[in-house]
Chain A
Amino acid sequence: MTNETRAQGADKPALIVGVLLLAVAFLVGYDASQQTITSTYGIGPTAMPYVVACGLVVLGLAHFVTAFRGGLPKPDAADSQALLWIAGGLVCLIGCIGLGGGFVIAIALLFACTSRGMGRQALAVDLAIGFVLGLAIYLTFAKLLTLILPSGPLERLFL
C-alpha cells in the first residue's frame, strides 16, 4: 500500500488537507482584514486571527511536505452506504426541524435511519420505536422541565 502511493508521488489526502488548511487560513486572514473597528488601547480584534492564520499556513505547508514523505495513515475502505444512511437521518432531522415538522417526527426519522445504517433491516419497527422515544422525551421536557422542544402539528396535540 505505502509503496504504491510512493510510486505515484504524493499522498492525496495529505495534499487535500494542506489545501483546506490554506483555504481556512485565507478565510480567517481575509475576515480580519475586513474589520473596521479596532481597539484604542492594547491589541485589537485582528491580532489573534492573523496569528491563527499564520499558524494554519505553516501547518498547511507542513502537510504538503508530509504528502511527499509517506503521507497520512492509510485508512481501510469505508462502507459508504452506512455513512449515507446516517447522514440521511441527520439531514431528515434538520429538514424536519427547519420546516416545522416538530421534534417527535424528526427523532423518529433519525433513529430509524441510524439503526438502518448500523445494519438493522427493520425500518418500520425502528420508526415506531423512534416515535415513542421522541414522544416520551418531548413530554418529559415539556411537562417536567417546562422546556419546549421544537414543535410541529403533532406536538401541539399533546400540549
Chain B
Amino acid sequence: MDTLLSLLHGFTVALEPSKLLFCLIGVFLGTAVGVLPGIGPALTVALLLPVTFKLDPGGSLIMFAGIYYGGMYGGSTTAILLNAPGESASLATALEGSKMAKAGRGGPALATSAIGSFVAGLIATIGLAFLAPWLVEVAVKFGPWDYFALMIVAFVTVSATFGDSPLRGLTSLFLGIALGLIGIDKLTGQARLTFGVPELLNGVEVTTLAVGLFAVGEAFYVASKRFRDPEEIIPIKGSLWMTKEDWKRSWAPWLRGTAFGFPIGALPAGGAEVPTFLSYSTEKKLCKYPDEFGKGAIEGVAGPEAANNASAAGTLVPLLTLGLPTSATAAIMLAGFQQYGLNPGPLLFAEKPDLVWGLIASLFIANVMLVILNLPLIGLWVRLLAIPQPWLYAGILVFATMGTLAVNGSPVELTMLFAFGFIGYLMRRYDYPVAPMVVGLILGPMAEAQLRRALQISLGDPMILLQNPISATLLGIAFLALVAPFVMKGLNRFKASED
C-alpha cells in the first residue's frame, strides 16, 4: 500500500504540464538519435545528458527517462526498417522485423514493437516498483557458475536461428566465437589474436559485426542479383496498422518476452541479449506458423522487443536498490542520478523517495508518450522504404558507416565493417545463416569469462557447476533442450516403423 501511495505521489510530480513537455522533447530527441545505427540507448543518453543539465531535477529526470525509452525504440526502428541492428539487443528484432518490412508489413512490425515495448515496459516498471527489494536478493545470489549455465541454455536454444543446415549454422556460430576471442583477455589482460594491431585490442565490436553482416552484406547481395532476380521492396501491403490477427499473434509473445526480460535483466550480469535470444527461440518453437519464421513472423518481433524493453527496466532493479550499474545504460543512468547528488543504493528509497518515485512514474509516462509519438510516425518511417532502391541502399550504407565512425572512426574499424559485409554477402550466397555468428560473438566471451571466474573461485574444480542448485538446474534444462529433438525424432521413427 505504501508503495502505491509513493507511486501516486511520484505521478503528481511527473504529471505537471511543463514536465510532460520535457518528456515529449526527451522522447523525440531520444528516438531521433537512437535511430542512428551504432548509437544504442546508452550512447544516446550519454550524448543527450548535457541537455538535461539545464533543467531542475524533476524536469531533467523525466526528460532523461524520455530520452532513454526513445533511444531504445529508435534502435529497433533501424533494425526493422534498415536491417541494421544498432545494438546487440535488437539483433533478434532485426531477424524477423526486416523481413516483415520488405514484405510491406513494416507498419505492423513497428507497431507491435512499439506496443510490445509499452506493455513490457509497463509490466516491468510495475515489477520494479513492487518486487525490486525481493528480486534483488535473489539476483545477487547468482554466481559465475549460474551465469555460465544460463549462457549454455542460451547457446543451446539459439540453435533455433540456425536455419535448416546444422553444419552451416554451427560453422557460422564457431566463427563468431572465434571472433569473440580477439582482443584483450578479460581475466589475464593478455592480448589474443590481435597480431600486433592495436585497434584489435578492444575486440570486435558487436555492432560492427552485426551491421556489417546484416546491412552491408545485404546491400552486396541485393546488388549482385539485381538483373537476374531483382529484389522487390513493398513499402506498404495491406493495413499499415496491426490487424486483428496481428494482435492475436502478438499478445502472448509480449507477455512471454517480458517474463524472460525482466528477471534476467535484473541479474547483475544478465544483460539484454540473452533474454531476447531466449524469447526468439521460444516464439519460434511455440508459433502456430513455424514456416513463417525466417520470412517475417510477427511473433519474432513482438517477443524479443518486449524482452529487450523489460530487461532494460530490469537493470534498474539492482541500480536503484543496490546502486549496481550492471549495463552500459545503467552506468549512464547512474551518472544521470549523480548530477543531482543522488547516490543510488540501499538508502536511496528511504532518503529521496520523491525523486525515486518521480523517476519510476516518469518511466511510465515516457512509455505512454513513446507510443503516442511513435504510432503516428510509423506511416512516415515506412515511407522511407519507398525511396528508389539505389538511394535506399546507398543511404543504408551511409547510415551504417556513420554509426561506426561516430563511435570508433578508425580505418581499421571501417575495414572490418567492409570485410564483414563481404563475408555476409558470401554467407548469403551459399545459404549460411548470419545470425549465429553474431550470437557467437556476444555469448562466447560472456560464457568463457563466467566459466573461468567460476573455476578460479573453486580453484579449478569443475564440479562446482553441478553442486549449485541453480547452475545444475539450468544445465539440466540445456541438456534436455539439446537431446529432446533427437529423442523426438527417434520416437517418431519408432512409431512410423510400428505402423
Contacts and interface: CB of A to CB of B under 8 A. Distances in A.
A20 to B, nearest CB: 10
A26 B452 CA distance: 23
A153 interface: no
Chain A at the B interface: SS class: helix
Contacts of B222: 118
A105 interface: no
Interface in B185-210: 185, 187-188, 190, 192-193
B452 A126 contact: no
Output the residue of B167, B389, B455 with the most chain A CB within 10 A.
B167
A126 B411 contact: no
B252 interface: no
B459 interface: yes
B181 A48 contact: yes
B452 A137 contact: no
B187 A93 contact: no
A147 interface: yes
Contact of B406 (A31, A35, A75, A149): A149
Given A114-B397, A115-B390, A118-B394, A44 B174 contact: no
B401 interface: yes
Interface in B367-410: 388-391, 393-395, 397-398, 401-402, 405-406, 409
Contact of A78 (B171, B224, B406): B224
Contacts of A141: 406
Contacts of B223: 79, 82-83, 85-86, 117-118
A145 B190 CA distance: 35
Contacts of B151: none
Interface stretch (B110-118, B123-131, B254-262, B414-422): B414-422
Contacts of B418: 87, 90-91, 94
Given A41-B455, A59-B171, A98-B411, A137 B390 contact: no
A141 B391 CA distance: 22
Interface residues of B, number: 67
Contacts of A126: 390-391, 394
B188 A39 contact: yes
B460 A43 contact: yes
Given A48-B448, A52-B181, A86-B220, A150 B167 contact: no
B406 A147 contact: yes
Interface in A39-56: 39, 41-45, 47-49, 52, 55-56
Contacts of B175: 24, 56
Interface in A16-35: 17, 21, 24, 27-28, 31-32, 35
Interface string A109-142: 0111011111110000010011001100100010
**Which 5 pairs, one residue from A and one from B, show the smallest C-beta to C-beta distance?**
A42-B455, A118-B390, A115-B390, A98-B411, A114-B394
29 contacts: A35-B190, A39-B188, A39-B452, A41-B459, A42-B455, A42-B458, A47-B452, A48-B444, A49-B181, A49-B192, A52-B174, A52-B178, A52-B181, A56-B178, A66-B167, A79-B225, A86-B220, A87-B422, A94-B418, A97-B405, A111-B394, A111-B397, A115-B390, A118-B219, A126-B394, A145-B33, A145-B47, A146-B47, A147-B406
Given A86-B397, A107-B398, 16 more contacts: A35-B190, A41-B459, A42-B453, A43-B455, A43-B460, A45-B187, A52-B177, A72-B431, A73-B430, A78-B225, A83-B224, A94-B415, A111-B397, A114-B393, A149-B409, A150-B405
Interface of A: 13, 17, 21, 24, 27-28, 31-32, 35, 37-39, 41-45, 47-49, 52, 55-56, 59, 62-63, 66, 72-73, 75-80, 82-83, 85-87, 89-91, 93-94, 97-98, 103, 106-107, 110-112, 114-120, 126, 129-130, 133-134, 137, 141, 145-147, 149-150
